[in-house]
Amino acid sequence: MSIRLLNMIRLKYGAGLGLAAAFSISAAPALADEGMWTYDNFPLAQVNEAYGLKLDQKWLDRVQGASVRLTTGCSASLVSDKGLVFTNHHCVVECAQDLSSDKTDYVQDGFLTASREEEKKCPGMQAEILTSITDVTREVQAAGLGKTGQDFVRARDAVMASLEKSGCGDDPNLRCQVVTLYRGGQYKLYRYRKYSDVRLVFAPEFATAFFGGDPDNFNFPRYNLDIGFVRLYENGKPAATPQHLTWTSRAPQDGEATFVSGNPGSTNRLMTVSQLETLRDLTIPVGQLQRSEIRGRLIRFSEESPEHKRIATDPLFGIENSYKVFFGQQFALNDKAFMDAKRAQEAELKAKITADPKLAAEIGDPWGDIAKAQEAYANNYVRYRQIEGGATYSKLYDYARTLVRAAEERSKPSAERLPEFADARLALMEKTLLDPKPVDAPLEETYLSFWLSKTREYLTTDDPAVKTLLGKESPEGLAQRAVAGSKLADPAVRKALWDGGAKAIAASDDPLIQLALRNDPNARAVRKTWETEVQAPTDAAAERVARAKFAAYGEEVYPDATFTLRLSYGKVGGWTYRGQTIPATTNIAGLYERATGAEPYQLAPRWVAAKDRLNGSTVFDFVTTNDIIGGNSGSPVVNAKGEILGAAFDGNIHSLGGAFGYDGSINRTVVVATSAATEALAKVYGRTELVKELTGK
Amino acid sequence: MSIRLLNMIRLKYGAGLGLAAAFSISAAPALADEGMWTYDNFPLAQVNEAYGLKLDQKWLDRVQGASVRLTTGCSASLVSDKGLVFTNHHCVVECAQDLSSDKTDYVQDGFLTASREEEKKCPGMQAEILTSITDVTREVQAAGLGKTGQDFVRARDAVMASLEKSGCGDDPNLRCQVVTLYRGGQYKLYRYRKYSDVRLVFAPEFATAFFGGDPDNFNFPRYNLDIGFVRLYENGKPAATPQHLTWTSRAPQDGEATFVSGNPGSTNRLMTVSQLETLRDLTIPVGQLQRSEIRGRLIRFSEESPEHKRIATDPLFGIENSYKVFFGQQFALNDKAFMDAKRAQEAELKAKITADPKLAAEIGDPWGDIAKAQEAYANNYVRYRQIEGGATYSKLYDYARTLVRAAEERSKPSAERLPEFADARLALMEKTLLDPKPVDAPLEETYLSFWLSKTREYLTTDDPAVKTLLGKESPEGLAQRAVAGSKLADPAVRKALWDGGAKAIAASDDPLIQLALRNDPNARAVRKTWETEVQAPTDAAAERVARAKFAAYGEEVYPDATFTLRLSYGKVGGWTYRGQTIPATTNIAGLYERATGAEPYQLAPRWVAAKDRLNGSTVFDFVTTNDIIGGNSGSPVVNAKGEILGAAFDGNIHSLGGAFGYDGSINRTVVVATSAATEALAKVYGRTELVKELTGK
């Protein structure tokens, strides 16, 4: 689940679409408060000077050690010495949904524990804490030397997997990952302490966490208690975590320096113009049109019955969230002034390189190479998306494909496999595959039928790959038959197929296994074309673009986001746009004023009952100037003393083009305050033990 | 219903998206077979020479007199002397749906009459035959002289309405319309003989007419019996129509000259580059995202029950059809080479004007003026679309808004009203409003709730116009209450409100009337802004662009399509693309080969039964080089002898960018052959009387 980075821009002020185009475009040194910095390249001196602080390496180490990555796509932080982790509700809602049934709805009603015995394991969730970073640029780049096409891609994949393997050995408590930074300018080995047993401790009601729902999702002022707590377990007991942040219930102060430590998922600020044009003209529009249709199907689906509403709540939230993120990206890229600024910046970089003949000879024309690869991209994208991408959202298809491919790949030496099946990567794959999770057949049927019908729509009925998928069946008929007949919802069945390998797969009459099996040759074929014609030339050229940027602007720059740990700095503060000033904070009284009684502005019953007990002036949500993006959800917002002021959960409407640039005058991070969390835990939910663990009182 | 102009371009050949960019861009003299020509400016000599023909004015008059416009958005032709009209199934499917109920499904089963007594009136349908064209350019342009903003727009609206009134008087059998040609280069008064009583004679099963469904909708070879017959009535009897086309059952010949006489709805070939950019970056994306979501909602809706499927069939067809049209437009405009060609062409025109100082002074910089208006367009478009545009697809909202506005407008003198309420326009409005039509409450609720939720999504919860619409209700709650409580489905209730005027509206407690009433001030306000800041400057500048084009290229050019009668010329012929040659015709045997038994490739039972009786080599569908677009659906495809060879019903995948240009080497019109129609009527449907009326045998 990615942070809800929001996307309507000027629309809410009735001013149409299109970005303000005031972005810094960050190849050159970053502007104030800009950047999602790696911990090994944080501009400490610059920040201390700008904010009058004396932060040191020890402070950095302490915050790093308390920062948690959740493999489900979020960030979080340790807030007690007993493994207690603070994050967003929308980072644990999938867990709450997985733990629910048609009898118990933890999403609607909240998940409240009074003691540790009631905490329940979140299926598929793993928590990871970064412990070290090692430069492996030379090793990775060497592996690709003299190679092209798929050979180039696979040789580097193999060396990365092997570095991961040697970096962590067989220690089941460690995870190693080679991270591509600056689009290939650097490669770093990130080493994590991992926790595979993560249990849900507390989640408020969906109506409380997501008050204002999708309509307010890109809005501020906000009144969302978007908090959740999980706990790390080791050997069935709460993990000892002496290194944690200090919980504070005091309100954030206007102008107070804030640091967001988390895992921004993905930015494209270092992409070349031709890549951005492809995103704008092809990738995003196709994705959005499909997302919009499945959104419509799920909205109607969830109106059909309370049970359909229950099972569709979390998926619909996820889809609407992504929809808004890409809506913002689309209209940012559609803004001519913004793209002109990107063009000017690329021209400036090229001019700097050209001015140095030796450098020019070394760099060549990677921009031209990437532009050329865009043609192959356009020619193959839709097929790659539909045939190799598979049935988005479907758990069953995902299980089936993993099992089918694993059976073939695991029989090969690690270095010769598809990279996601390398030895170093199997542990998390196995956990994801085998953890028990509810599978909702009516949703699965919807996803499968959607995928099959869109694949036929985009590739046409007469396409051989479509014929292979459908035979004489309709998308709807095949989806119905496959879901009804599949046994893959049962973890034991998946385990048997995982353990049984190629022989078990060949013998399986499971219709989803058969579907994934007959699609696999076509999927591998288009993946090969993609890696050869698109990925290899793009990766090779992107390294030279990065080299050009380092040469022109030095290494005091931050890389694009990669869902790895970053630190951003900024301060608490509202903003002014078109003469309207938005204050930095909201309070609890404001929630009651905004409530209408109709969804999504309906208060949960506990909040109606607690109204008189609550201090209305308690700060609820607030905004800061920190530069973040989806994946940062749940990130601790820390002050200079290392106290946690809140968890980032959103961005304001102006932060939308955040994938492509940052404008500190109006881009804002939206945070749920620890002050509101404490007040609510104590007075709305009566979680005395939890409050005591957090505050010591 | 507009023609299904199809939109995936190279995708079907696995070559990604993006247009071939081989378009002629038609400011300069048209290429061979290009153009949707007005009957008073048809290049007769040029066509006769190119095709070795001797067509004359008499021939033109004869085809014009047999060409029919259906106010429901289609084209058609007279094919007997007793008022029999031939068109597409998809032009009468709405009528078949309106005549159906939960007991009788004429869409699924077809509508077959054995005698005239069984013919049933199509609600809201009016047929019109063009009888004369008069130039009124001077009058219209004079009305706007010295005026700006909304005054300019309204002064011209008023003179157009008054010309219509004086052109047709009070004759209930006539309709007059002032048509804006060349985006304001010319204004012409079109005078029609109208028929308000149009009855359904024949419609095949949906599965037969739309075999291959949405997946094949941009495909050829095709096997669609997309035919329908209606009959014009006068005083309760079939109208006498001596001027009609000659039905032929012989197959079209490769290379045979063909003429399509019909009403292409809308093209944007004469738009300036800045206007095309707005379409590309704002108008089409927003429209497509909404269309895609409502498509998703309706797909799920129609899966819920056979009755939901029945009522959603026609609306879903319409939405999917529009979706594809704009999908094609979007990716045509996203094609850089195509836009570059447009830019080059605009630069050439500007250079020609600049070269003549006197002309340059007279023309000024209309391109700059239009570019400037794009800013106002972007700032107001979404509000204009949502608030003035209203609840797309909802019949009830449409009724309510018409009634609310009519009550206010009809109390003013005709010249001071909103133009659509001018005297000359009331007759058709009244027919549309008062003709009885089924209103399907579950669909209405879906449409209303969709509109309200998208309006809130785009304008935000805090927008005053959104607050006025919703109050404290949710979109879903309001939609449910309004549809359940409204009586507007009853034509007698509508009649009483129409006749009762302002007083009746003020007294009405109908929730839809109240909704439209409270939205009206906001809708009028944004419309005023739109007319003042967008429409007026654009219209004024577009006239000067047209003048520049006439000056540079002469008047031997065709105007953009305006849903008025046009004639296009071309010939029967397949095409070759990327080495693959597609023959010009398909035959009945091919239908049986393509059938799978699964929707939408399932044969109707009558066709299964008739297989052995049919001549498999009968030509079914065929393609021609004629230049057409949506609105041309149902147009007669006529040969040089005035015989009708078929009805145009679609375009091939390459004709997609047709809104913006034409490429005769690959753009094709898709036609259902009269040969197939005769064979099917005789041997599948046993319509002896109808065949006799058509063929005399």
Cα separation of A198 and A635, whole Å? 17
Q: Which of B9, B222, B303 to probe the A interface (max A CBs under 10 A)?
A: B303
**Predicted local confidence at residue A1, as pLDDT:** 31
Half-sphere exposure of A642 (CA within 13 A, CB side): 20
Q: What are the contacts of A421-427 at 24+ separation with CB within 8 A?
A: A422/A157, A422/A158, A422/A161, A422/A162, A422/A164, A422/A165, A423/A161, A423/A165, A424/A161, A424/A162, A424/A164, A424/A165, A424/A168, A424/A176, A425/A161, A425/A164, A427/A172, A427/A175
Residue B283, pLDDT > 90, answer: yes
The neighbouring-strand residues paired with A237 are A234
- CB B507, CB B532: distance < 8 Å: no
**Predicted local confidence at residue A28, as pLDDT:** 52
Q: How far is CA A615 from CA A68, A591, A619, A684, in A?
A: 31, 12, 9, 11
Exposure string of A563-584, with b = 16+ CB inside 10 Å and e = fewer, is: bbbbbbbbbbbbbebeeeeeeb
Place of tokens 């001027």: B243
**Chain A partners within 8 Å of B16 (Cβ):** 282, 377-382
Residue in A583, A571, A567, A404 with CA at minimum distance from that of residue A501: A404
Mean per-residue pLDDT, B59-77: 97
Q: In this structure, what are the phi and psi dihedrals at residue A636, rounded to the nearest 5 degrees? A: -65, 140
Q: Answer whether B17 sits within 8 Å of A459, measured CB to CB.
A: no
Contact status of B570 with chain A (Cβ, < 8 Å): no
Half-sphere exposure of A678 (CA within 13 A, CB side): 21
Cα separation of B682 and B202, whole Å? 13
Q: Which of A11, A220, A278, A293 to probe the B interface (max B CBs under 10 A)?
A: A293
**Predicted local confidence at residue A2, as pLDDT:** 35
**Predicted local confidence at residue A400, as pLDDT:** 98
Cα separation of B190 and B164, whole Å? 9
Residue in B662, B670, B666, B667 with CA at minimum distance from that of residue B637: B670
Mean per-residue pLDDT, B416-445: 97
Cβ-Cβ contacts under 8 Å for B615 (sequence gap 6 or more) = B588, B679
Cβ-Cβ contacts under 8 Å for A427 (sequence gap 6 or more) = A172, A175
Q: How far, rounded to the nearest angstrom, does the alpha carbon of residue A133 sit from its chain's CA centroid?
A: 21
Residue in B332, B316, B653 with CA at minimum distance from that of residue A462: B653
- CB A209, CB A225: distance < 8 Å: yes
Closest CB to A11: pick one of B15, B382, B476.
B382
Helices (H) and strands (E) in chain B, counts: 25, 22
Contact status of B289 with chain A (Cβ, < 8 Å): yes
Cα separation of A391 and A447, whole Å? 7
Any idea what DSSP says for residue A169? T
Side chain identity at A165, as an amino acid letter?
A: K
**Predicted local confidence at residue B23, as pLDDT:** 42
**Predicted local confidence at residue A11, as pLDDT:** 29
Residue B604, pLDDT > 80, answer: yes
Contact status of B188 with chain A (Cβ, < 8 Å): no
Q: How far, rounded to the nearest angstrom, does the alpha carbon of residue B636 sit from its chain's CA centroid?
A: 16
Which two tokens mark A411? 């029989």
Residue of A nearest to B383 (CA): A14
From chain B residues 343-382, the ones with a CB under 8 A of any chain A CB are 377-382
Which two tokens mark A608? 């109606």
From chain A residues 507-566, the ones with a CB under 8 A of any chain B CB are none
CB pairs under 8 A between A and B: 169
| C-alpha distance from A297 to closest chain B C-alpha (Å) | 4
Q: Answer whether A215 sits within 8 Å of B461, measured CB to CB.
A: yes
- CB B251, CB B618: distance < 8 Å: yes
Cα separation of A315 and A348, whole Å? 44
E strand or H helix at A582? strand A580-582
| Beta-carbon count within 10 A of B661 CB | 25
What does the domain layout of chain A look like in residue ranges? Answer: 273-553
The SS3 assignment for A412 reads coil
Which two tokens mark A280? 């704008």
**Predicted local confidence at residue A417, as pLDDT:** 97
Q: Which of B288, B457, B468 to probe the A interface (max A CBs under 10 A)?
A: B457
Contact status of B320 with chain A (Cβ, < 8 Å): no
E strand or H helix at B76? strand B74-78
| C-alpha distance from A240 to closest chain B C-alpha (Å) | 45
Closest CB to A334: pick one of B216, B281, B294.
B281
Angle at CA of residue B271, ends A344 and A371, nearest 5°: 35
The SS3 assignment for B571 reads strand
Q: Answer whether B293 sits within 8 Å of A289, measured CB to CB.
A: no
Cα separation of A15 and A474, whole Å? 45
Cα separation of B74 and B87, whole Å? 8
Contact status of B226 with chain A (Cβ, < 8 Å): no
Place of tokens 């959607």: A450
Cα separation of B98 and B72, whole Å? 13
The SS3 assignment for A238 reads strand
**Predicted local confidence at residue A99, as pLDDT:** 97
Its sign, for the CA torsion A579, A584, A585, A591, is positive
E strand or H helix at B231? strand B228-234
Contact status of B454 with chain A (Cβ, < 8 Å): no
Q: Hey, which bits of B101-225 come out as E strands?
A: 111-112, 120-121, 127-135, 174-181, 186-195, 197-203
Q: In this structure, what are the phi and psi dihedrals at residue A229, rounded to the nearest 5 degrees? A: -125, 140
**Predicted local confidence at residue A29, as pLDDT:** 55
Which two tokens mark A276? 């951005």
Q: In this structure, what are the phi and psi dihedrals at residue A7, rounded to the nearest 5 degrees? A: -145, 30
Q: Answer whether A334 sits within 8 Å of B285, measured CB to CB.
A: yes
Q: Are strands A636-638 and B585-587 parallel, antiparallel or unpaired?
A: unpaired
Q: How far, rounded to the nearest angstrom, does the alpha carbon of residue A527 sit from its chain's CA centroid?
A: 23
| C-alpha distance from A265 to closest chain B C-alpha (Å) | 25
Closest CB to A477: pick one of B18, B463, B598.
B598
Residue of A nearest to B326 (CA): A289
E strand or H helix at B345? helix B336-354
Cα separation of B459 and B466, whole Å? 7
- Look at phi and psi of residue B236 and say left if phi exceeds 0, alpha if psi is from -120 to 50, else beta: left
**What Rg value do the Cα atoms of chain B yield, rounded?**
25
- CB B680, CB B229: distance < 8 Å: no
E strand or H helix at A250? none
From chain B residues 6-65, the ones with a CB under 8 A of any chain A CB are 8, 11-12, 14-18
**Chain A partners within 8 Å of B285 (Cβ):** 285, 330-331, 334
Closest CB to A16: pick one of B379, B457, B473.
B379
Cα separation of B670 and A557, whole Å? 57
Cα separation of B489 and B483, whole Å? 10
Residue of A nearest to B466 (CA): A12
Residue of A nearest to B301 (CA): A300
Closest CB to A596: pick one of B289, B294, B472.
B472
Mean per-residue pLDDT, B126-146: 97
Q: How far is CA B115 from CA A248, B50, B255, in A?
A: 86, 45, 38
Q: What is the mean pLDDT of each run of 10 residues along chain A (697 residues)?
A: 31 32 46 93 96 97 98 96 98 97 96 96 98 98 94 95 96 97 96 98 98 92 98 98 97 97 96 98 98 98 97 96 94 94 96 97 98 97 98 97 98 96 96 97 98 97 97 98 98 98 98 98 98 97 96 93 98 94 98 97 98 98 97 98 97 89 94 98 97 96
Cα separation of B357 and B363, whole Å? 10
Contact status of A599 with chain B (Cβ, < 8 Å): yes
Q: Which of B300, B375, B377 to probe the A interface (max A CBs under 10 A)?
A: B300
Cβ-Cβ contacts under 8 Å for B695 (sequence gap 6 or more) = B247, B249, B678
pLDDT in tens, B174-222: 999 999 999 999 999 999 999 999 999 999 999 999 999 999 997 899 9
- CB A91, CB A263: distance < 8 Å: no
Half-sphere exposure of A637 (CA within 13 A, CB side): 36
**Predicted local confidence at residue B28, as pLDDT:** 52
Any idea what DSSP says for residue A252? P
**Chain A partners within 8 Å of B298 (Cβ):** 296, 300
Q: Which of B289, B386, B456 to probe the A interface (max A CBs under 10 A)?
A: B289
Q: Answer whether B11 sits within 8 Å of A460, measured CB to CB.
A: yes
Q: How far is CA A437 from CA A395, A440, A646, A689, B393, in A?
A: 9, 10, 30, 29, 40
Q: Answer whether A293 sits within 8 Å of B289, measured CB to CB.
A: no
Mean pLDDT of chain B: 94
**Predicted local confidence at residue A19, as pLDDT:** 33
Which two tokens mark B187? 């204004």
E strand or H helix at B148? none
From chain B residues 456-515, the ones with a CB under 8 A of any chain A CB are 456-463, 472-474, 476-477
Q: Answer whether B14 sits within 8 Å of A383, measured CB to CB.
A: yes
Q: Which of A303, A443, A602 to probe the B interface (max B CBs under 10 A)?
A: A303
Mean per-residue pLDDT, B665-672: 95
- CB B649, CB B676: distance < 8 Å: no
| Beta-carbon count within 10 A of B592 CB | 14
**Chain B partners within 8 Å of A336 (Cβ):** 277, 281
Torsion of CA A462, A468, A470, A472, to 10 degrees: 80
Exposure string of A464-488, with b = 16+ CB inside 10 Å and e = fewer, is: ebbeebbeebbbbbbbbebbeebbb
